[in-house]
Amino acid sequence: MQGGAVTLAREFMVSGQRPDLILASDMMDLSIFRAITRQMTHDVSHALYFHENQLTYPQNSRQNHGWRYGFINYASAMSADALLFNSQYHMDVFFDVLPNMLKHFYDYNELDSVDRLRERASVLPVGMDLTRFDAYRVEKTSDVPLIVWNHRWEEDKNPALFLRTLYRLQERGIEFQVAIVGENVRHSAPEFDDARMRLRDHLVHSGYVESFADYARLLWRADYVISTANQEFFGIAVAEAMYCGCVPLLPYRLNYPYLVPRNVYDGYLYRSDDKLFPLLLRHLQGEIKVDQSVLREAVTQYDWLQMGPRYDAELTRLASGQRPASGL
């Protein structure tokens, strides 16, 4: 994140390209990129897409990064002609936290810049290729409910709560199956190692699914998708599972309320960690009526068939110089 802009700028300069618009990720320092490439890009619009941000990333504070990476996001935003966020939640939380970072500076903290940045910010949700799952649709083959966890095996996804919930089901003698999928990006994952032993009679899969076809078929077979995340700016994995007919059980925080219709919140969103188990139990006991068509429709709007024209229109608008604000 600190040096990537230099490499990308060098590669861009030798490419000889003259783009109509440069769309950069928040993981690049756009201020450095624009400075190095200014001879070729001074008259090109630059948009910065926030898939995530470093201001609210919990690992940064624990690893003594302080505001270093957050400031890269800020400098990039100041250098961009337009800011695009993948969700309304993400845009709101970014501008809520940004003043806190600027207040750490003793003087000239530039708090007025927050309003100027907000003026050129908008939401452009993630586009997903959901229809590709259709080719692998399979019928459910078991009456035993299958619960899927399809998240990175990292602390910010809060796997401890998920596993405790399953252990409570096990202690109650309730029938269930579980598929723990997702990539292990750590050197070790002792909680999942323990789960393989404790849940071995319930486990149908553990670990990353290399084949998309196998992953898609697994989602179609599953009955529930659970998230316990403390860090999530959109929720692609959950949206994919919902498209495949999984009933979502999600925390009432982050972007998850935007993935579920407001009038059915109580059936799918739990408002505190201790409410997950009783909500899951009510579902398994058939106490909550589920309309899967409503849930699927809620995420189908993010399929590329819907989002593609929105991206085309927005990027065309930005390329033509029609943007909320430019410069300082």
Residues 6 or more apart whose Cβ sits within 8 Å of residue 14: none
* pLDDT reading at 221 higher than 70: yes
Residue 33 backbone dihedrals phi, psi, to 5 degrees = -60, -45
pLDDT digits (tens, 9 = 90+) for 31-40: 999 999 999 9
pTM: 0.92
What's the pLDDT at 328?
Answer: 40
**Sequence-ordered list of residues with C-beta below 8 angstroms from that of 195, at least 6 positions apart, any chain:** 163, 166, 180, 203, 206
First to last CA, the chain: 24
Closest of 71, 64, 62 to residue 100, by C-alpha: 71
Helices (H) and strands (E) in the chain, counts: 15, 10
pLDDT at 193 (0 to 100)? 86
Dist. CA 153–CA 181, nearest whole Å: 9
pLDDT mean across residues, the chain: 92
Helical axes 276-284 vs 159-172, angle rounded to 10°: 50
Residues in CB range of 18: below 8 A, 6 or more apart: 40, 44
- Are the CB atoms for 102 and 111 separated by under 8 Å? yes
Extract the tokens encoding 235. Answer: 């929720």
H-only helix segments in the chain: 4-15, 30-36, 38-41, 58-62, 68-79, 88-102, 113-119, 159-172, 190-198, 212-221, 236-243, 265-268, 276-284, 292-300, 304-319
Residue 105 is predicted with a pLDDT of 85
Q: What is the pLDDT of residues 285-295, one digit of tens each?
A: 999 999 999 99
Predicted local confidence at residue 50, as pLDDT? 97
Per mean pLDDT, which range of 73-77, 192-196, 316-320 is the poorest? 192-196
272: exposed, middle or buried (C-beta count within 10 Å: 0-12, 13-18, 19+)?
exposed
Banded pLDDT at 327 (limits 50, 70, 90): very low
The per-residue pLDDT for 186 is 64
The answer for residues whose C-beta is within 8 angstroms of residue 29's C-beta and 6 or more apart is 1, 2, 4, 5, 72, 75, 76
Average pLDDT value for residue range 60-81: 80
User: Given phi > 0 = left and psi -120 to 50 = alpha, else beta, which region is 176?
Assistant: beta
Confidence of residue 326 (pLDDT cuts 50, 70, 90): very low
Does position 96 have pLDDT exceeding 90, yes or no?
Answer: yes
One-letter identity of residue 258: Y
pLDDT of 325 reads: 39
Q: For the residues of 295-306, what is the DSSP string, one character each?
A: HHHHHHTTBHHH
